[in-house]
Amino acid sequence: MRHTLPLAPQFYVTAPQPCPYLEGRMERKLFTALQGENAEKLNDALSKQGFRRSQNVLYRPSCAECSACLSARIDVARFALSKSQKRVLKRNAGMVRRASSPWATEEQYALFRDYLDSRHARGGMADMDLFEFAAMVEETPIRSRLIEYTHPDEDRGGDRGGLRAVSLTDVLDDGLSMVYSFFAPERSRDSLGTYVILDHVEIARSMGLPYVYLGYWVPGSPKMGYKAKFKGLEIYHGGEWQKLTDPDGFSADTHPLSVAPIAEQVARISLPDIGPPTRR
């Protein structure tokens, strides 16, 4: 099924499949290709409207009977550390950050596999091999960075080469978008996932960028509950960004008639002024 806007990218809808966040529900996504010389402008514009990037595709949940998934971002200016987050920073003191171009390595893949096998053994990425992992990391038409975290005390041997955490991060015109991150599952006490987000807040602040995009927050999903613990969190709801002041005020229960038809959703998308293709 295809929907188009005049002089705009084409939008498609995926076939329904089991939801990875809420048991017993089906999900589908609205998506468009991300390519060409205007890829960055399109990515910047649609990220502000709840879309996420996966390789050369931008997508947003568009489920027929559910609208529980809400895009989330941290307002850097409003962010403040909680007591538990201060302890996370203390536990990970001495961590070394290294940012590079998005290029996959065997060490990253070894950490990625350990993470999946421990946390998401039944997820959609469970069978991803090294070549598919490399495509996830390297196939990006926009400004992306691969950020690795190691610790001086870590044994540099082994398949993972001392890696503790990795984040594939896009640089938007108004912030950092954490496309995908993974970390050493055996170090659960260190709260590495939280640490990586906290470090991205610091990176954004140092770059003068106002937001850190975290992907989707899903009320009722234990996998996504941690995102509501970050002060300064905003969610994209009702066509605009709103402060998340009361996480318990949102429910995963929705009525099918509350979900707008696909054609109406597409018509509401605001696209950047990209103009005609440049002649070469």
| 183 in Cβ contact with 115 (< 8 Å) | yes
Does pTM surpass 0.95?
Answer: no
In angstroms, the CA 179 to CA 53 distance is 7
Which residue's entry shows tokens 């440049």? 278
| pLDDT tens-digit map of 112-137 | 999 988 876 565 666 788 999 999 99
| pLDDT tens-digit map of 16-31 | 998 888 888 889 999 9
User: DSSP character for 12?
Assistant: E
The structural domains of the chain, with segments of one domain joined by +, span: 2-71+251-267, 72-249
Q: Is the pLDDT of residue 155 over 80?
A: no
Q: Distance from first CA to last CA of the chain, Å, rounded?
A: 33
Q: Can you name the CATH fold of 72-249? A: Aminopeptidase (3.40.630)
| 139 in Cβ contact with 168 (< 8 Å) | no
In angstroms, the CA 130 to CA 160 distance is 14
Residue 1: band (very low, low, confident or very high) from pLDDT cuts 50, 70, 90: low
